[in-house]
A and B are shown apart, each in its own frame.
Chain A
Amino acid sequence: MAELKLFRTWSTPFALRVVWALNLKGIQYDTIFEDLSNKSSLLLQYNPIYKKVPVLVHNGKPLVESLLILEYIDETWKQTPLLPEDPSERATARFWAKFGDDKVLLSVWNVFIKQGKDQEEAIVTAQENLGFVERQLTGKKFFNGETIGFVDLAFGWLANLLSVWEEICGVTLIDHEKFPMLSEWIQNFAGAPIIKESWPPRDKLITKYQALREVYTSKEAPK
């Protein structure tokens, strides 16, 4: 029996991707919850360069970086494939997952941590990026087509964390009029059984991110 351990925190969206992938494929694993203010020696041993979660340890061998872990899972356990078979479709999936992490997440985070004029500018950038993502859903229920796949898992944070940040800031980034397809995708993804059962508790997320926003916005005077 393969030994599989996932190091995560209760809230990180990056580890959730791995949880979803393993659950979608029906793979058994043990979970180790980390306190990032007091990282375990095991975590530091398994991820010495980045010292972050998630880390997946398979038969004693560590894997880090959530999207790379997803590719490993997909290549090791072939049931319920996350990536399509066709090479150009795979390239497209990898492109959008990378765009999500490199551009979308950063631009949305900027909306969350800023205020005043800075926040207004951040909203414009975030919505431009979200516009590209919206168009990828044309004619599809999920980014992967009829079923949840790699890109859906990569953008999963849009289906819960985003609304937490929107609520705290009083800003709506994804409204039904401007982003009808993304809005529907959020409903479909968030409501899918495997996904629904693993969301972190919303009230805890609100408390955590409320405190974080206070830290960021108290550092500078609003413009």
Chain B
Amino acid sequence: MAKNDVKVLGAWPSPYVMRPRIALNIKSVNYEFLEETFGSKSELLLQSNPVHKKIPVLIHGDKPICESMIIVEYIDEVWTSGPSILPSDPYDRAIQRFWAAYVDEKWFAAMRGLRSAQGEERKAFLDQVTEGLALLEEAFGKCSKGKAFFGGDRIGLLDIAFGSFLGWLKVTEKVNGVKLLDEAKTPGLVKWAERFCADAAVKSVMPETEKLLEFSKVLAAKMKGAPPPKN
């Protein structure tokens, strides 16, 4: 497939944008990465995703596909010669999709809350995040069945969904002075995170924690309305 047949509209810090990129890497599909400028939305983005006006968007030929996990499933269904991202058994697929939705709707929502919260509220969000990680540790045990990833021997849907947040998880640990992934409480996830970040499909698109930390300061300043700090 010619490189410019597949485009991903996105931005390097976004965990959601990482997801289709990892999926395309798993399938060894060449694509053009069109980076959006922080703070503005390109014409192409507004045209391709008029409903949400958000990244990522996958443009395959002339067809735009939106919503990161929907894009990942699309990639799995189109490029069938590459390794499968979803398992073949319907029940296993349902479990992967369930936890991917949990990560997005419950767990990362608590992580985002933690970013801006103060005092008592902060503790509440931290508890939610930690409880979520305990659930995910248990899920990892069940899904991996002793293998390297949630998807088994290879990275699958849930690895992509959860793993894409690891950069921001590390930033949150640094900013809040907490350990979220912990050898004592979440030993399975600690090792899984190392393997995920080291995987060939992930390495080139996972941002460095330091870069992400700097970006998070810019983002925080923008949200407060102050001018961004000078590096």
| Minimum Cβ distance to chain B for residue A132 (Å) | 6
Cα separation A58 to B93 with both chains bound (whole Å): 14
**What residues of chain A lie closer than 8 Å to B102, measured between beta carbons?**
49
Q: B70 and A95: CB pair below 8 A? A: yes
B73 within 8 A of A: yes
Q: A88 and B74: CB pair below 8 A? A: yes
Q: B90 and A99: CB pair below 8 A? A: no
| Binding stretch for chain A, among B61-69, B153-161, B164-172 | B61-69
**Residue on A with the closest CB to B93?**
A75
Instruction: For B74, give its contact among A68, A71, A76, A91 (CB under 8 Å).
Output: A91
**Residue on A with the closest CB to B97?**
A68
**B interface, by DSSP: helix, strand, loop or mixed?**
helix
What 1/0 flags go to A75-111 for Cβ under 8 Å of B? 1100000000001101100110011000000000000
| Minimum Cβ distance to chain B for residue A161 (Å) | 22
| Minimum Cβ distance to chain A for residue B23 (Å) | 13
B215 within 8 A of A: no
A72 within 8 A of B: yes
**What residues of chain A lie closer than 8 Å to B71, measured between beta carbons?**
91
Q: B94 and A63: CB pair below 8 A? A: yes
| Minimum Cβ distance to chain B for residue A75 (Å) | 4
| Minimum Cβ distance to chain B for residue A118 (Å) | 24
Q: B66 and A87: CB pair below 8 A? A: no
Instruction: For A98, give its contact among B67, B90, B94 (CB under 8 Å).
Output: B67
**Known contacts A88-B63, A90-B77; is-contact A76 B90 (Cβ 8 Å):** yes
| Minimum Cβ distance to chain B for residue A109 (Å) | 17
Instruction: For B91, give its contact among A61, A90, A94 (CB under 8 Å).
Output: A61
Q: B90 and A95: CB pair below 8 A? A: no
B60 within 8 A of A: yes
Q: A72 and B91: CB pair below 8 A? A: yes
B143 within 8 A of A: no
